[in-house]
Structure 1
Amino acid sequence: MSAESLERQTRSYLSNNVPQIQEHGGFFEIQDVDDESGEVTVAIGGACSGCGIAPMTMNAIKHRLPDDLDDVSKVNVTRAGGPRAAVMPTKTEEMEEMEEYKDYSPPF
């Protein structure tokens, strides 16, 4: 599978299965695709940057994308940088480590 095809599949999956990102003023971007290993790096930003459930959304993408797309073996999810990125509250970073959110499954 080509990198372009893998990127298209990933973009389509996120648009169709995680519409909340865009519906709530956020965005995602595919930052890197390794077609040989199947590793994909996705960044979320915009309104996601200040959202309290962003860590859970990131975790869900990280785990569900490889389960649902055969050609994806691993997903790295990060926060987008650049002019469209908002500053993440420090509490959000703390939430990523909280035990309560390790098994949280957002409704998508």
Structure 2
Amino acid sequence: MSAESLERRTRSYLSNNVPQIQDHGGYFEIEDVDEESGEVTVAIGGACSGCGIAPMTMRAIRKRLPDEVDEISKVTIRQAGGPRAAVMPSKTREMEEMEEYEDYSPPF
């Protein structure tokens, strides 16, 4: 499988199974696909920053994407940079560490 195909399958999964990102004013971009190792890096930004469910969305993507796209072994999620950068990345990182989010599973 080519890296382009793996990227296309990753993008398709996120677009079709996590529409809340775009529906709520956020966005995602696939920053890197390592075909050999199966590692994928996804950046999220826009309205995702500081959103109360962003940490749960990020955790769900990290967990579910490898289950849905067989060739993926690891998913790294990071805050997007540039003009569409997340507004409050430190708050989102803090929220990811909160125990309240440990067992929550978003409905996607």
Place the TM-score, normalised by the shorter chain, in its bin: over 0.9
Residue by residue over 1:37-67, the C-alpha shift from the partner in whole angstroms, topping out at 9 and shown as x without a partner, is: 1110001101111312111100000000001
- Name structure 2 gaps, 5 residues minimum: none
Q: Which residue does the alignment assign to 1:36?
A: 36
Q: Tell me the equivalent position of 1:83.
A: 83
CA displacement, residues 2-39 of structure 1 (integer Å, 9 cap, x when unaligned) = 11000000000000000000000110000000001111
Give the length in aligned residue pairs.
108
Per the alignment, residue 107 of structure 1 pairs with: 107
Partner of 1:97: 97
Give the equivalent residue in structure 2 for 1:18: 18
| 1:55-94 residue CA offsets vs partner (Å, 9 max, x unmatched) | 1100000000001111111100111111011321644322
- Write the distance in 2 (CA, Å) between the matches of 1:79 and 1:91: 11
CA distance in 2, matches of 1:95, 1:82: 22
44-53 or 89-98, larger mean C-alpha shift: 89-98
Contact 2:26 2:48 (C-alpha < 8 Å) held by counterparts: yes
- Measured in 2, the distance between the counterparts of 1:21 and 1:43 equals 12
Identity over aligned pairs, percent: 82
How far apart are the structure 1 equivalents of 2:41 and 2:89? 22
Q: TM-score, normalised by structure 1?
A: 0.94
> For residue 52 of structure 2, what is the amino acid of its counterpart?
G
Cα distance in 2 for residues equivalent to 1:29 and 1:89: 16
Report the TM-score when normalising by structure 2: 0.94
